[in-house]
Structure 1
Amino acid sequence: MPTLIFQPEDYVFPASLDEVLGILDSEGAAAQIIAGGTTIHELAFRKGMGEVRTLVDVTRLPLGEIAVTGERLHVGATVSFTQLARHIRSTQPRRLALLTDAIAGIRPMQIRNVATVGGSISSSLPFFDLPAALVVLDAEVTTRGIDGPTRTTPIEQFFWDFFLPDLRFGEVLTEVAFTTPPADSGGAFMKFETNSVDWALVSVGVQARVQGRRFTDVRIALGGGIGRKVTRATTVEQALLGEPTTVDRIERAARAVSDDVRAFSDFRGSAEFRNHLLKVYITRCLVQAIARAR
């Protein structure tokens, strides 16, 4: 009989967020929150679950809602990728195309149906697609701790390192929120993979505002195998402000991406190849974003 790679001793469904926080407080590192379970499956396969003995399922808590307050979109932690994409397509398909691009590239479909927004963010992995897209949108992450108060953190500051988010002991991520981009802006997300089931070598998300055929605002986030967390291409952003939206000008600005990030080499590809891909995909994303901004 085969031996299971991960054998938790308990699997619980708390009735409230307070109960979740109580379990985390009493069991510490032996307890792990689970929602869609896709990241936990990956960690268990790689023998990365450490001393976890109790899985705390939060899918029955009221964290699965999407709410709109003016131009602000609030997404609960247990909202699935499919739910978020469906909401965007029915409300803001053009202005938030960046997000639907990112979600569409997550395969297979079964992953999109069960993986959650909060789980993707809490994993703090630059290889995941949704975190980079949310960095582009300047999203904010809300967490709640054992002593009751909530805390809001800009998502760009929430990612510290691989599997190291800005989650304090006993804290739970409850929602992510962002402002819908203006009507004269467009976004896009693209990535390069060696195959359909591996992590991306590079991923690029952009949102650009265009007025009078010139860039008035640009945000670019880089993910995939380019570093230990999602990184902003601020040098490229600054090089494009006020510039015409021509392919030639975009290509010249994209060359500066090597000042923003130091890609690493591994068995999937060299750092030089990744840097080349970044320039190509920044250009492609911005061209797509411009088309959507018109």
Structure 2
Amino acid sequence: MAASALLPWHVEHWQRIQAQVAANRLPHALLFAGPTGLGKRLFANRLMDLRLCADNDGSVDACGVCANCLLRKAETHPDRFELMPEDGSDQIKIDQVRTMVDWAYQTAQRGKGKYVLIAPAEVLNIQSANALLKCLEEPPSGTHFVLIADTPGQLIPTIRSRCSTMFFRPPPTDAAMSWLESQTEYQPEHEVLLKIAGGAPLAVEAMINAGYLETRACVLNLFSVLRDGGSPVSAASVVVKQMPETVIGIMVSLILDLVRLVRGDIEIRHVDVTSDLAPLSRGIPEAQWFLLLDYLIECRALLASGANPNAQLMMEGICTRTAEALA
């Protein structure tokens, strides 16, 4: 049996998939779309594991012990292919897609069909997307494609049109909280984090493990210090002790709330620190925040590229830009 149960908010989607399988009408290309933190990759892996299992009896899970399942666990199954950015790149490149296409047109070795996972699909560049499109237009017999995208609008329309799209949406708050409480002892911060995460339960788990609220307190203090004229270099020396990706992500999230406050929008995510954010939102034009957001997004892309920038210098640049925005 599989190690984990089907997530409650996946049940309806799974029933739809099972009906398609039972009718022998599983689409050759599936697009699982929706915000991060909802388990789209878990769902995709469960589907592919089940379809590749040699001894599945029609249950929700792969058996986990047949030869096919053991190959899958060892990540050596010859009929499963995964496309993702490689070598520190932030894109899936055309050579990767060409390699996959050559593989896709070969006969399945284990007799259960072939499955390609593409995640995140929105990082296909234009050349690789067009190469994939040709394969989707003339799909190899017995090969299924599963694309995962947090922002499906970034995919070229022709790829989206070739896929059967399944949208994953956050469960109701009470259902999300019930699931979180079933996984770990209830903590008051669960509700706060769920709001910040846009209702995505798995994102809350990741935030807890990353010490999100502690890092957020550090970032809020950073804003306060810089607003009061503190040295960006000194401030950077403090915040650089945190994970740069986490710091930047929190800054982006807080700034989006600051923009909402400037606009008079009451639907902010960091509701528990509204009193800290409100003074920062006063008297600062919206355009200032967007300039800072653009810079933060550039920094995040640089980190994602694997370029390994100097963390201290990056944080000094971020703190300098933040001080300018708050001036």
User: Normalising by the residue count of structure 1, what TM-score does the alignment of the two structures yield?
Assistant: 0.26
TM-score normalised by structure 2 residue count: 0.24
Q: Which structure has greater strand proportion? A: 1
Highest Rg: 1 or 2?
A: 2
